[in-house]
Amino acid sequence: MANVTLPIGGRPHTVACRDGEEARLQLLGQMIEDRWPTALRAAGGVPGERAMLFVALMLADDLEDIRQRPPEGAAVSEPALARIADRLEALANALERDAAP
């Protein structure tokens, strides 16, 4: 078992982890530290639990954004393509009508 000290918000936090996971834990700690100034402002400048809550909310928001993205290279279904084509055709017709004298 290894111990890693993470400097977050100007305070050291020592956390235990499995041997070999130190670098990953340091990376995760840096993600928290990177968001700390914004979280501290959101918490009214008061460090502690509230600021850490804001860090957690920011990270959760980032995670949810990633979850909502379609997978890279995701194919669009045939019915979806047909609906898009119908909409584009309707828009083109409307533009032609508006442009006609």
pLDDT at 18: 95
Residue matched to tokens 């078992």: 1
99 pLDDT tier (thresholds 50, 70, 90): low
Pairing verdict, β 2-8 and 11-17: antiparallel
- Using CA atoms, how far residue 21 sits from 4, 15, 24, 25, 29, in Å, is 9, 11, 5, 6, 12
Average of per-residue pLDDT across 28-40: 95
pLDDT at 100: 65
Residues forming a β-bridge with 4? 15
Average of per-residue pLDDT across 62-89: 85
Q: In degrees, to the nearest 5, what angle opens at C-alpha 61 toward C-alphas 11 and 40?
A: 30
pLDDT at 72: 77
